[in-house]
Amino acid sequence: MPTLPTPRQFCVAILLCICSLSPASADEKIPHAQDRPPGPALSPQEAIAKMTVPDGFSVELIAAEPDIVNPTAMTIDEQGRYWITESLEYPRRSPGPGRDRVKVLEDTNGDGTADRSTVFMEGLNIPSGIAVGHGGVWLANAPDLLFVQDTDGDGRADRQEVVVTGFGRDDTHELPNSLTWGPDGWLYGLNGVFNPSHIHYGPENPNYRADSTGWKFTCAMFRIHPGTREFQVFCEGTSNPWGIAFDDVGEAFISACVIDHLWHLTETGYYHRQGGPYPPFTWKIESIVQHRHQKAAYCGIHWYDSDAYPEKFRRRLYMGNIHGGCINSDRIEPRGATYKGEPEDDLLTANDAWFMPVVQKTGPDGCLCILDWYDRYHCYQDANRDPGGIDRLRGRLYRIRYKGTPHAPPFDLKAESDESLVTMLSSPNGYRRDTAQRLLSERLLQKHSPQLITALEQQITASSATETRLRAMGVISLADSFNEQLLLKLLQDPEAAVRSRAVRVVRGLRSPSQPLLSASLARHADSAHTVRLQSAITAAAQPPAAAMPVLVSVLAAAADDPLTPRIIWKHLQPLLEQQAALFVHEVRRQSPADGSIAAPVLQLLPRIAERVLAAAAPDNTSLATLLDLLLIDPASADAADQCLQLLLNRIRSGETTATAAVSLGQILQQPLRKAAATDSPIALSALQLLVATRSENAAADALRRFQSADDADVRLRLLDAFITAQVPNTEELARTLLESTTQTEQLRRIVLTTGRIRSPASIRLLLEKIPALPPDVRPAAVEILTDQQASSVLLMELVRDGRVEAGIINSNQARKMLLFDDQRLKELVTRHWGSVRTERDPARQALIAQMRNELRLAHGNPQAGKAVFAKVCGQCHKMYGEGADVGPDITRNGRASFEQLLSNVFDPSLVIGAAYQAQTIVTDSGQIITGLPVEDSDQRVVLKIQGNRTETIPRNEIEQQVTSPLSLMPEGLEKQLQTTELHDLFAYLTLDKPPEDPAARFLPGARIQPGKARKTANYPQFVEQLLPGFEVELSGEGGVELLENYFGRPALQTHPPEKNRPCRISMTTQLPVSTKIQLRLAVASHEQGDWQLDVKINGQPRHKSIVRPTQAGRWKDLEIDLSDLSGQKVSIELFNTPNDWSNEFGYWNAAEIVSE
């Protein structure tokens, strides 16, 4: 059997430098996902002057550096003080004490400007979330979530409690964040998709148990009860969410990056993930928007509803758009139990690339406050590559003020009476409403007060404002102090929002009475989608006999609600393991007399059929009953067809064994034969299933249908059924199909189906046909042939004999073949394909430098590049809606700049997110399969395979399973393609829009922008294009000039300013930690001159040589070893020194640090 190598563990050390680069050396870089150099940092006043806001609004400065530097999170306490976390440590991954701190800013005289700044706490390490309340400060400081107190009143933290621990630090831009008090009084937070976490209670937490298994998750919303310290996962999914907002009725919204930006989150939901496998049987929930704002990096979100702004700007969600430099705005409209987001005009545009709005909050005066982590680098990619380039000296806090809105005078809401705070729950100022609710919750949780409860109950029963009633309910529910009779009454309230909240309150009670629970479950028949959904979530925690009727009822009433069926499925599918008969009984009991089935139930039946079959002991009788139900109603034909196809898929994959398939076929034979004999669209699927379950005479009937059919799709589906049933001689039928069409997509499907036969004859057929297959079909054939040992040998013999080119095999497929224990195959691969690396090739950086030059000068055909994309990249990636859905969609991902594109294409294993780590599986039959995991459960592993193929491997057939340290995207694209093809591909990839769009432009950095600068102030726009991070001090002979092509490469031309004074090029940077670090230089001379290259590191000579026109190719490529300076901050000086003062022009193509 094949054996797999043990995967290596890789550690990436990321160093930080507190000092920023000198302005001249860094201002003109084009950071990740930005279109142009950000320019110099502006003063706070200059930044405000450039901002644009709607008429009547203005921007004011509350605080700035040095009182704020690198702010990451903020909250506002009951005195109107701004509590801000600062991080100098970002992007450090290692845990432990750091240099970060919590600052408290205060406006002592009410003029709107913070005039007092104090440090509350130090020694933190990227504190990414903060909330004040319940006697202390709550801090997300991964791996811990802390509760910190000042017990002696000196304004400094002196007591610390680890509430929970186990948050990851794998990706420090996705740390736990956005600590926000919810409408129920719990503390909510978020965590990102590439930051795996395993949460446990801290030893001081009253819920701590040494044997607890804890909670494992990546992207999720969590919550903590401030009194009991109980931890819960509220829901899961999205990407790297950052920002939580609760609207007037307490619904949760978040903003997220990369994928869609706006999400409505519901308890127990599982939402679309940016990457990584889903739990088994997940039906993911999508975002609530179809629009996009400027770009895809959002940070912070806030529901704004205060009377400081005109009505037009209220009841809106405001979000920080980092790459867009804006505060975006969306309105929300109800859609079933969820919402639809619609775009509104931006509230603020900064017109300054340094603007990074990380937090938005309503301030004490009712105006929106914006916390700005002011930095040239927005993204972790830049921070990780160039930690020394992070600006660690700036940060701002702004107020967006409408006309003459008065500033808040000094105050302390904590000094207000209970009565005053209860009244404040209906304040027109959102800050005061939120703060009053929190303070009342603290008081009632700390001490039971009948008087306070009575006052709150009066608000609940007498107030005409739904929001006020809900806030009062939130206070009482946190303290578990609700009167049962009042709750029963609220479950019947005229307001749907109140009924919905009442159901949630009952669900949160420690031990609700039976009358309360029954009344809550009875809301499954409510007129409002939101109430019905909450009743279903409550029912899900009950025994199956109580839960199933509610789940089926709510599902049937869902109509076109996009959320409810997905939540119902989340809770229904575990019950189907043993309760399929109960589900069928409820469907039949709740169906009308004509036997019709509600549309939402029909939509779910294919998933239900799959889940029933996946049970340890499938209930085939219930499944047959379901199919009978489906066949009664013509309207259910589509659902019935999907069910039959799912049954086929499970038999095809082996999840349903051949013996079980025969048994299933016997039970289903009557309805299947009835369906197969009709003209219904499901007739073909029924015939396929009859063949697959080896029903008597089915194969003969299907063969006659195959021979008489003109439709290629019908014939292909029947061939698939023959293969599943192991009918003899299917290879000849496959040959017939392969020779009957030239249509690319049909050929691809036929090849994939033929590959399932896995007989010697089918292998010979694919090998025979592969030379003539279209270029974008061949990869599918190669992937099949390299899955098995014998076919791999035969394929490599074709390569050896020159019948197919070695380039049709990528490095992953070559690597897979070497895993077979076959010496002859290994020799064939090594001799006729080449050597294969088992880890990332550090030499890829040199290749990137070469390709950077070549592709900047190439003028490929983007239309031809589209065809190359389909042949190579489109096997795994989508772009502009075309291609396969295996890896990320690169329409918006991985192409923010030319540099990012080069790195992703030519060095794909440099950075691999956990969600995109490939898995290699060896089956007990000797097959080797490599792909991205979609599902990894106790029952099966599902992989996405190159060529848009999904492979399902039953768990009991897996012999070995290993996660690869390498990207599924293979290295060596430059070897697979002809030069013209490569140029065409990049002409396509480097456009920001489809080539047929007249507005299409090249990505930043994809083309050299030649020109000349005489003034030193204008040097950077040319220097940064070839020597990013460096600055030229002074160049003679007319300054610097950027040439598009100097002897085959772009070049920056310099000249010594005087005979005895060299031209100096310099940079200060932090070197990575590595065993091998080199300064790579590419220099040339004038064709009639020479010059001396001097290199100094930290002021000490490191290299000296003469650059002459006799160099091979006119260019001199140098690598100067800096390994002895690993991890250090260094000054690099390059000198264009005169030699004999004759054409002393220096030509620079590259100056960069490379490391392994």
List own/partner pairs for 326-335 with CB under 8 A and 24 or more apart. Answer: 326/293, 326/294, 326/350, 327/357, 327/360, 327/368, 327/370, 327/400, 328/261, 328/293, 328/294, 328/298, 330/262, 330/289, 332/247, 332/253, 332/264, 332/288, 335/288, 335/561, 335/562
Q: Order of strands, edge to edge, in the sheet holding 187-191?
A: 177-181, 187-191, 220-224, 231-238, 270-273
Phi and psi (nearest 5°) for 873? Answer: -70, -35
- Angstrom CA distances, 512 to 487, 506, 518, stand at 11, 6, 10
**Residue 29 confidence (pLDDT) above 60:** no
Question: What confidence score (pLDDT) does residue 6 get?
Answer: 38
- Round to the nearest angstrom and report the end-to-end CA distance of the chain: 34
**Residue 820 confidence (pLDDT) above 50:** yes
**Residue 856 confidence (pLDDT) above 60:** yes
Locate 810 and state its tokens: 């990528």
Tokens 């809900």 identify what position?
470
Nearest to 756 by CA among 789, 726, 795: 726
**Residue 98 confidence (pLDDT) above 60:** yes
DSSP states of 702-744 as a string? HHHHHHH---HHHHHHHHHHHHHTT-TTHHHHHHHHHTS---H
Q: Answer with the residue of higher pLDDT: 969 or 1007.
A: 1007
Question: What confidence score (pLDDT) does residue 221 get?
Answer: 99
Average pLDDT over residues 950-976: 82
Locate 910 and state its tokens: 């440099």
What percent of the chain clears pLDDT 90, i.e. is strictly above it?
Answer: 64
* Distance from C-alpha of 308 to C-alpha of 306, rounded to nearest angstrom: 6
Phi and psi (nearest 5°) for 295? Answer: -145, -170
Task: Give the CATH fold of the 416-481 domain.
Answer: Leucine-rich Repeat Variant (1.25.10)
At 250, the pLDDT band (50, 70, 90 cuts) reads very high
Locate 1139 and state its tokens: 């030699």
Q: Answer with the residue of higher pLDDT: 542 or 916.
A: 542
* Distance from C-alpha of 517 to C-alpha of 139, rounded to nearest angstrom: 36
**Residue 202 confidence (pLDDT) above 80:** yes
Q: Highest-confidence range of 93-107, 648-662, 847-861, 1111-1125, by mean pLDDT? A: 93-107
Bridge partners for 665 per DSSP? none
Average pLDDT over residues 949-965: 85
**Residue 458 confidence (pLDDT) above 70:** yes
Contact 989, 981 (CB under 8 A): no
Other CB atoms within a 10 A radius of the CB of residue 345 amount to 10
| Greatest C-alpha distance within the chain | 103
Which segment of 401-405, 474-478, 811-815 scores lowest on mean pLDDT?
Answer: 811-815
**Residue 82 confidence (pLDDT) above 90:** yes
pLDDT tens-digit series, residues 586-642: 999 998 888 788 999 998 998 998 899 888 888 888 888 888 777 767 778 888 888
Question: What confidence score (pLDDT) does residue 911 get?
Answer: 60
Question: What confidence score (pLDDT) does residue 19 get?
Answer: 31
* Distance from C-alpha of 939 to C-alpha of 930, rounded to nearest angstrom: 18
- Which CATH code of 2.60.120.260, 2.60.40.10, 2.60.120.10, 3.30.160.100 fits the domain covering 1011-1155? 2.60.120.260
Domain ranges (residues) in the chain: 23-402, 416-481, 503-575, 1011-1155
* Distance from C-alpha of 390 to C-alpha of 115, rounded to nearest angstrom: 27
Question: What confidence score (pLDDT) does residue 1110 get?
Answer: 77
Q: Answer with the residue of higher pLDDT: 215 or 40.
A: 215
Question: What confidence score (pLDDT) does residue 7 get?
Answer: 33
**Residue 50 confidence (pLDDT) above 90:** yes
At 2, the pLDDT band (50, 70, 90 cuts) reads very low
* Distance from C-alpha of 1141 to C-alpha of 1151, rounded to nearest angstrom: 24
* Distance from C-alpha of 1127 to C-alpha of 1072, rounded to nearest angstrom: 5
Pairing of strands 231-238, 220-224: antiparallel
DSSP states of 825-854 as a string? HHHHHHHHT----SS--TTHHHHHHHHHHH
What percent of the chain clears pLDDT 70, i.e. is strictly above it?
Answer: 94
Average pLDDT over residues 443-458: 96
Please state the CATH superfamily assignment of the domain spanning residues 23-402 in this structure: TolB, C-terminal domain (2.120.10.30)
Phi and psi (nearest 5°) for 86? Answer: -120, 145
Residue 74: in which H helix or E strand, if any?
strand 71-76
Nearest to 793 by CA among 770, 827, 746, 842: 827
Nearest to 324 by CA among 298, 347, 304: 298
**Residue 313 confidence (pLDDT) above 80:** yes
Locate 244 and state its tokens: 């939580």
Average pLDDT over residues 146-158: 97
Contact 323, 382 (CB under 8 A): no
DSSP states of 479-521 as a string? TT---HHHHHHHTT-S-HHHHHHHHHHHHHSSS--HHHHHHHH
DSSP states of 915-929 as a string? GGEEEEEEETTS-EE
What are the residues whose beta carbons fall under 8 Å from the beta carbon of 1137, sequence distance 6 or more? 1056, 1062, 1091, 1092, 1093, 1094
**Residue 219 confidence (pLDDT) above 60:** yes
By CB atoms closer than 10 A (0-12, 13-18, 19+), residue 499 is buried
At 505, the pLDDT band (50, 70, 90 cuts) reads very high
Other CB atoms within a 10 A radius of the CB of residue 108 amount to 11
**Residue 1001 confidence (pLDDT) above 70:** yes
Q: Answer with the residue of higher pLDDT: 939 or 544.
A: 544
Locate 966 and state its tokens: 């390498």
Bridge partners for 216 per DSSP? 198
Contact 1121, 1078 (CB under 8 A): yes
Q: What's the sign of the alpha-carbon dihedral 683, 685, 691, 694?
A: negative
At 1006, the pLDDT band (50, 70, 90 cuts) reads confident
Q: Answer with the residue of higher pLDDT: 1025 or 20.
A: 1025
Question: What confidence score (pLDDT) does residue 346 get?
Answer: 97
pLDDT tens-digit series, residues 4-24: 343 333 222 222 232 333 333
By CB atoms closer than 10 A (0-12, 13-18, 19+), residue 758 is middle
Average pLDDT over residues 220-224: 99
* DSSP-assigned letter for residue 41: P
Q: Answer with the residue of higher pLDDT: 132 or 975.
A: 132
CA atoms within 13 Å, Cβ hemisphere of 486: 20
Contact 194, 93 (CB under 8 A): no
Nearest to 330 by CA among 245, 397, 457: 245
Question: What confidence score (pLDDT) does residue 236 get?
Answer: 98
Look over the chain and give the mean of its residue pLDDT values, rounded to a whole number.
Answer: 90
Question: What confidence score (pLDDT) does residue 33 get?
Answer: 58
By CB atoms closer than 10 A (0-12, 13-18, 19+), residue 938 is exposed
Bridge partners for 253 per DSSP? 245, 264
Contact 1072, 1135 (CB under 8 A): no
Locate 366 and state its tokens: 């009712």
pLDDT tens-digit series, residues 1027-1053: 988 999 999 998 999 999 999 999 999
By CB atoms closer than 10 A (0-12, 13-18, 19+), residue 936 is middle
At 913, the pLDDT band (50, 70, 90 cuts) reads low
**Residue 707 confidence (pLDDT) above 80:** yes
SS3 161: strand
Locate 1094 and state its tokens: 């001097």
Nearest to 178 by CA among 145, 156, 200, 147: 145
Which segment of 281-285, 368-372, 463-467, 917-921 scores lowest on mean pLDDT?
Answer: 917-921
At 387, the pLDDT band (50, 70, 90 cuts) reads low
Pairing of strands 231-238, 270-273: parallel
**Residue 3 confidence (pLDDT) above 80:** no
Question: What confidence score (pLDDT) does residue 626 get?
Answer: 83
